Structure 1
Amino acid sequence: MKKILLWLLGIILITGIGLFFGAKYLQRNWKPLLEEQLKQAVINSTDSLYKIEYKSLDVNPINGNLNLVDFKLTPIMEVYEKLKITNEAPDNLYELAVDELIINKANAKEAVSTKKLNIANIIIDHPQLKITNNRQPYNDIVDTLKKKKNPYELIKEIFKELKINTIQLKDVDFTFVNNSNEQKKQTSLKNLNITINDLLIDSLASQDKNRVYYTKNVEINIKDYQIATPDSLYYVKTSELSFSTIRNELLLKNVKMEPRLSKAAFHEKAGYAKDRFDLDFENIIIKDVDFDLFLKQQILMAESLSIEKARVDVYNNNAYHRKRTDKTGKFPHQQLLNVALDMRIKQVNLNNVNISYAEYDAKSKRTGIIRFNNLRGTINNVTNNIASLKKDDVMIANVKAEIFGKAPVSLNMKFYMRSELGAHDYSGTVGAFNGKILNEIVKPLGMAEIKSATISKVSFDVKANQNIARGTMQFYYSDLNVSILKREENGNLKDQGFISTVANGFIIKSENPSKKGEFTEGRILYSRPYYASFFNYLWQSLFTGVKESVGVSREKEAKLKKSAAKIGSLVDDAKDAFSSIKENLKERKEKREVRRDEKKTEKEQEQKKKEEQELEIKN
């Protein structure tokens, strides 16, 4: 805010001086004197670092109006380089262009004698501001030692008081270039509207606790903002972005990331099985932002970020091949460390978030889906700030939800931010539910159907890193019965009776603990393939615990696969033998029918011959 106030104050000084000296020098030669004063004002307020240009300046000191067209404020790089040599260069350089600036109802004539300039309204049309950040280490020390001039000290030679009721900046284009890191980063925002209320600069204003940076309020607003993502697959939209220094919060309404293509067209363009996201957040609220720190050092510090009433839909299509790119080092907490913006948010609050994952299966020709309804909870210590991580390097998430809106689930996660291997722990519980609700995902994607299952409780505890997950699972259930399915030519999924019977009778335990009270604990031991994402890794790790709990240990699974291959071969041989017998029987039947037809024809011919002979005898 202080940096923005600096360049804004520069414009106000220029225009205010224009009115002041326009009133002071009403004679014909006022313009050369005015231009000289303007140049001197820029020199004084920017330590000779900036120069100004403009197309035209029209001043009417009688009614207190001013019009400035095509104004430009640019840094003088020769001066900047000299300041770097003497360790006096600022962290930020500003380039400013304004299409038009209008001042209404300034008391210019009175200000000549009172040195108190009051302005009713300033309108700045389409300002284009570019801030280039080159952080200078010595400024961290200099800032504490060097007494910098405050806004009043910059104007006191001309004014005792500067008061502006309203400043409106319309259609602002803002570009921030961060050259302080190894990789250059650029952020741009367009179509901003900024309103500053009750700006007062005098000898006492800085001590007024009701003011923030000499103002009663600063509001930043963007309406109906939309950009396309670099890959051209999505639009990112928000109906409104607003920030207020009175409320000290940033509000984003109706934030969306919308796919630009239909599901079919999306995967056709992607060319592989790529997750397609459709996101909708009703409100995102960031509270207690340290706005001064953000503008000064580009560090985002905030007490909380709240997401209210959100929808997250993910879709994939495994009819396309999976692109096995290396996802090592790309877990959520590892990605946070790579975010260009230096940040620390004390707590992220999630409220009424609905998440779904759907996948089309090439084998079943159906789409499976799993839903997590009403997800809510907190994520604490969301940071990539080095100083903050030295104090506390653990990010903790505690969330609750309902699977398909019915099965209550609770998940606790710890992310060790400074771990080179991406270490993290997770534990949780799932409450009682009817296992048949899982058929929405198991049937299309697993080619199986849960005929019955009463789940009493599931609990798990896992310690993991980016390579391996180890832990345990306690899975309490009864009356488990499944059908193994196959897809018929007509598209229907049919129960493979014999295989299902074998699975239920000899492989899967129908209950845990058993009727004898024996409980099978699920071991979790899973090595992550290099291409597996974080959430795939989490799911596959937990699934190993489920399989162990129902009686399919790793050793047993290996034997089953081997036996299944043999049984499959025997079944195929039996099918071939049966087909051969069937063909042989059919061939023998056809031969018998041919012989019957031949005998019938012979009898008919013999009868005809006999009749002909009898006719000859009579004649």
Structure 2
Amino acid sequence: QMQLVDQLHKLTIENCSISTQQKQASIQNLHLFPVSKENIESRLKAYNRSELYEFTIPELSFNNANFHEAFFNKKFHADLLTIKNPVIYYENFALLKPSKPKADFEDLYYLLSNYLYDINIDKVDIPDGTIQLINHSRKGKTISLDNHFSLGLENMLINKDQFGRKKLLFSDQVEFSVRDHLIRLSDNVHVIKAGTVGFSTRQKEVYLTNARMYPETNSQNFPTINWNIQLTIPEIRIKGINIGDLYFDQKIAADNVMISSPEIKLYQKNKSTKKTELKEISFPLPDEIESISIGQFNLNNGSLKIFSELGNQPYLLIQSDLKMESQDILVNNNQINNKTEFKKGKYTAGLYNFLFTPKETNQQVSIEDINFSTSEHHIVMKQLNVKPKTQNTHQDQFEMQVPILSMNGFDIDKAYRNYQYFFESIVAEKPKLLLYNNAKDSIQINPFKVNIYSHFKSFAEVFATKNLRVNDATLTVIKNGQKTLQDNITFDLTNFRVDDKPSSGFLHSADFSFSVQNIKRQDTQKLYLFTIGDSKYSSKNNRFTAKDIRIIPTLNREKFNAQKGFQTDYFNGKIDSVVIGQPDIERWFDKVELTGKEMSVIGLNMDIYRDKRLPFDERRRPKMLQDLIKTLPYPIQIDSLKLVDAKIIYTEQPPLGDEVGLLKFSKLNVSLKPFTNMKSSGTKIPDFQLDGRATIMDSCQMNVRMNYLMNHPDNLFTANGTLTPFNMRILNPVLEPLAKVSIRSGRVDQFRFNLSADRTQASGQLMFGYNDLKISVLELKNGNTKESKFASFIANSLLLRSKNPRGKELLPDEINFHRDEKRSIVNYWWKAIFSGIRNTMGIKDTKEESEPKADQ
């Protein structure tokens, strides 16, 4: 037993044996301990010391030791020092060190230097021991270690010159491991407990096995944290690491880090007032680590689960498998705010079988594969699915499937530092959106006013991309179990930006365009299929175009007529395109009002067929043109509506005979200005003017102008028009089958009319000049149509005027017709003009069936 010269420690040895001949020594039950444990700091300060130790060693031995050199010259050398089952206590008070702090263990050296100046041991072996290290930093933090350990040292050299050389434990090589090691992290709540922590300076390796990270619930800061982080990691291996930099500079610099099969669980403990919960998740570093730099990082076979712990039972929000690879990583531990800061690095991460089940909404999101790469600056998602957690037939719901979602040009630095997600482009390939229109009062969504920031704010302050494109999306709407809509849509959003400010554009974008392919609709009776090959709109040129529009009957003529039961027009045709210039799209979504500068219907080609063998529906009451416009399903205001280069062929099956009548209009161009059913300045609907021209039977040019009063109680309108000279034989295709009259000769020289009409009566004048009119009256005999010679003679001699005028001056004839309310507006136009033709030709008013029929 002896009092050591530092006046702070004592040494006791139960047994000591030395053999200079065999160069061996052994010591049993060595005990180095403080003289007193009272007023430790003041006693250390009094003796200008900062370190306190206590060693309890049951047995230690030296092999091949030079005791003579140690005794006479205070220099000790041994090949091997073996220490069995030591219990080591070391406490360091950094605050007691001078402004230029002494190296660790310097006090211990000065204590030993009173007995030995130089200690050199080739190998130190401690197979198993217990160590307790306590370090009180200058910042007031205490870091402790209390574990079983093993230690191996090579070429340990302790002398005055070794201090300050950043040589760990004064040795060239160190092999060290501790069991059940506890590492406290910088948030003063979470700790890491490892089954084994070890390092090897020779192998340049640090490893942890069976590590767990968890919060200490008795920590003073535990109630204040928003996220409880729990990790289970079977193995972490850090290779190519400079252990000296780790110990002396608190910096981890490694070639490779491998984390195997980690299980990550995050529990949300407190609801953030800013509702940015996911943005606030941060993984703290060990408090003593200032920075981490890694050449290559690998995380394999990981799993992630995020729980909401707000309530009695944790609720699983997110679960996923994950893996990660990274290169050239630099991570700093911000000592001011205790936040982990990622300074640089190339990352490739993958999430697999990702499932997100929000607690407060009836939706679930699953993604088969999410891959992220900082070097390629993109995020790619495969098989993204969104669907309701539970089906509800009384509420609107939706399902979405996206096979591939690519997010390119990702600026990860802004995302990490400022929670601002910026992309060059986002592309969704062939998504499918299924809408269940279940609610009775489904909400009309205005994409100019919709704010989707609530879906982003949990992780982003800003979410923006220069271009958002959705390719070939399928939109399906289900109502009452029936499919009411199915379209293929492609759209682009330019400068798409979501933040906490109200949206000022279409779906938060500056410009947008869309294309809908292969639109298909049916009428309520399912008699017609209406298709549009392609419809497009671009906000840059503010122009809407629909191409390849078709009207396709679902039944043939016989089945169609059998189902209708009355005379009904049978349509079959197409339109090359419909173009709307400068439409007010925002007004459409805001008020469901169709407004624009000009609307053109281009290349209409329509076949119309009517079978007069069916009975006429005496109940029908077709509307006047003004009423048709007023009762359109939507408010509309178009400065100019144009029909461009249209073609209409009307065919009619007469009550008797097999041959159909045909009337053809080609190069049909119509302009209607303005086309609206909306009141101007809140008072009246503007009147409109209709100008039209067409070629009849590829021979005669027709021109017409009509003016309609939209606010007149009787729907008053006026019309005037002309026909260019033509050979009257062009009318035989319609007259022969329908009127049983054939024109053998005749030429129209002048044809001009003007009239005024309302819902009941039309009146006006017709200037009809013609000559050399001769007809044949036809009759059916034995199923064949033949000329009736006698009837033809009577008609040409007594009933018809062969020319007009008979003198030199062409005089007008009266137009006077009382409208049949059961007939269409086109029939009204024709019958009004025909009343003047009849007066000119001298045809007396006879029964309706004797007149040429032209209901369309």
Output the TM-score relative to the length of structure 2: 0.51
| Matching of residue 251 in structure 1 with residue 556 in structure 2 | no
Are residues 1:336 and 2:629 paired?
yes
1:466 to 2:759 alignment: yes
Say if 1:216 and 1:246, in contact at 8 Å, map to a contact too: no
Which amino acid in the other structure matches residue 691 of structure 2?
Answer: N
Residue 418 of structure 2, aligned match among 89, 106, 114: 114
In structure 2, C-alpha distance between the alignment counterparts of 1:343 and 1:187, rounded to whole Å = 28
How many angstroms apart in 2 are the aligned matches of 1:392 and 1:422? 12
* Aligned partner (choices 189, 192, 199) of residue 495 of structure 2: 199
Q: 2:591 matched to 1:297?
A: yes
Question: Are 1:539 and 2:539 an aligned pair?
Answer: no
Secondary structure of the 2:306 match is helix
Deviations 1:554-600 (A, max 9, x none): 5xx69xx9xxxxxxxxxxxxxxxxxxxxxxxxxxxxxxxxxxxxxxx
Matches within 5 A, 1:203-222: 214-215=508-509, 217-222=511-516
Cα deviation, residue 225, structure 1 = 2.5
Q: 1:260 Cα shift? A: 2.4
Partner of 1:521: 812
- SS for the counterpart of 2:595 is strand
Pairing 1:70–2:408 present: no
Specify the SS of the correspondent of 2:307: helix
Indicate if the aligned counterparts of 1:20 and 1:61 stay in contact, CA closer than 8 A.
no
Change (3 A) 1:206 1:130: same
> 432-441 or 344-353: which moved more?
344-353
Structure 2 counterpart of 1:165: 467
2:819 aligned partner, one-letter code = R
Report what 1:374 is aligned to: 667
Match of 1:46 in 2: none
**Aligned pairs for 1:391-402 within 5 A:** 392-402=685-695
Amino acid at match of 2:426: N
1:394 CA drift (Å) = 1.2
Map of 1:142 onto structure 2: none
**Which has the larger displacement, 472-481 or 159-168?**
159-168
Could you report, residue by residue, the CA deviation over 1:75-131 in whole angstroms, capped at 9, with x for unpaired residues?
x9xxxxxxxxxxxxxxxx985442358654444564120332123425383224578
Decide which of 427, 432, 456 is 1:126's aligned counterpart: 432
Distance verdict in 2 for CA 1:121–1:510, change over 3 Å: same
For residues 576 and 500 of structure 2, the distance between their equivalents in structure 1, rounded to whole angstroms, comes to: 42
Residue aligning to 1:589:
none
Q: 2:559 aligns to what SS in structure 1?
A: helix
Other structure's SS at 2:805 match? coil
* 1:31 corresponds to 2:31: no
Return the letter of the residue paired with 1:487. L
Q: Output the amino acid matched with 1:523.
A: E
- Give the aligned residue type for 2:824: S
Distance 1:475 1:367 in 2: 28
Q: Per-residue CA shift, 1:172-215, capped at 9, x if unaligned?
A: 436699xxxxxxxx99542232322433438999999xx87653
Aligned equivalent of 2:744, options 433, 451, 459: 451
Q: How far apart are the structure 2 equivalents of 1:479 and 1:513?
A: 11
The alpha-carbon deviation at position 466 of structure 1 amounts to: 2.1
Choose which of 703, 715, 728 in structure 2 pairs with 1:410. Answer: 703
Shift of 1:446: 0.9
Residues 195 and 364 (structure 1 numbering): CA distance in 2 closer, same or farther, change over 3 Å? closer
CA distance in 1, matches of 2:498, 2:620: 60
Partner AA of 2:836 in structure 1: G
Q: 1:269 to 1:214 in 2, by over 3 A?
A: closer
Q: Alpha-carbon deviation of 1:379?
A: 1.3
Aligned partner of residue 823 in structure 2, secondary structure: coil
- Work out whether residues 778 and 785 of structure 2, in 8 Å CA contact, stay in contact via their aligned partners in 1: no
- What does 1:266-281 correspond to in 2, within 5 Å? 266-281=560-575
Aligned-residue offset at 1:399: 0.8
Paired residue for 1:582? none
The DSSP-based 3-state class of the residue aligned with 2:674 is: strand
Match of 2:795 among 495, 503, 524: 503
Maintained 8 Å contact 2:587/2:593 = yes
Matched, 1:54 2:347: no
**Secondary structure of residue in 2 paired with 1:111:** helix
Structure 1 pair 195–458 and aligned structure 2 pair: CA distance change class (3 A): same
Higher RCO, 1 vs 2 (CA within 8 Å, ≥6 residues apart): 1
Give the aligned residue type for 2:385: V
Deviates more, 1:344-353 or 1:401-410: 344-353
Preserved contact between residue 23 and residue 61 of structure 1 (Cα < 8 Å): no
Cα separation, partners in 2 of 1:356 and 1:102, compared to 1, 3 Å: closer
Given the two structures, how large is their TM-score scaled by the length of structure 1? 0.69
1:59 deviation in Å?
8.8
Residue in 1 aligned with 2:600? 306
State the alpha-carbon separation in 1 of the partners of residues 478 and 717 from structure 2. 34
Provide closer, same or farther for how the CA distance between residues 31 and 416 of structure 1 changes in structure 2, counting only shifts above 3 A.
Answer: farther
| Among candidates 190, 194, 200, match of residue 486 of structure 2 | 190
Are the aligned partners of 2:727 and 2:746 in contact in 1 as well (CA < 8 Å)? yes
Deviation at 1:302, TM superposition (A): 1.3
Larger relative strand fraction? 2
The one of 648, 654, 658 equivalent to 1:355 is 648
- Normalized per residue, the structure richer in helix is 1
Deviations 1:392-427 (A, max 9, x none): 521221010111111110011222223343332222
- Tell me by how many angstroms 1:34 deviates: 12
Equivalent pairs, count: 495
RMSD: 4.3
Structure 2: state its 5+ residue gaps. 1-274, 285-301, 319-359, 374-378, 444-448, 851-856
For the pair shown, the structure with the greater C-alpha radius of gyration is 2
Q: Which amino acid aligns with 2:796?
A: N
- 1:283 corresponding residue in structure 2: 577
Partner of 1:552 in structure 2?
843
**What secondary structure sits across from 1:351 in the alignment?**
strand
Structure 2 residue aligned with 1:440: 733
Could you tell me which runs of 5 or more consecutive residues in structure 1 were left unpaired when the two chains were aligned.
1-16, 40-49, 77-92, 137-147, 178-185, 562-619
Q: Which amino acid aligns with 2:401?
A: D
Contact map agreement 2:763 2:815 (CA 8 A) in 1? yes
| Worse-superposed segment, 481-490 or 148-157 | 148-157
C-alpha separation in 1, matches of 2:436 and 2:581: 26
Is 1:265 aligned to residue 559 of structure 2? yes
- The change in CA–CA distance for 1:285 and 1:162 in structure 2 (over 3 A counts) is same
Q: Compute the displacement of 1:227 (Å).
A: 2.8
Matches within 5 A, 1:559-578: none
Q: Which residue number in structure 2 is paired with residue 181 of structure 1?
A: none
Change (3 A) 1:509 1:318: same
Aligned-partner SS, 2:417: helix
- Tell me the residue number matched to 2:717: 424
User: Does the 8 A contact of 1:196 with 1:215 survive in 2?
Assistant: no
Q: State the Cα deviation string for residues 54-88 of structure 1 (Å, max 9, x = none).
A: 154689685445575324599x9xxxxxxxxxxxx
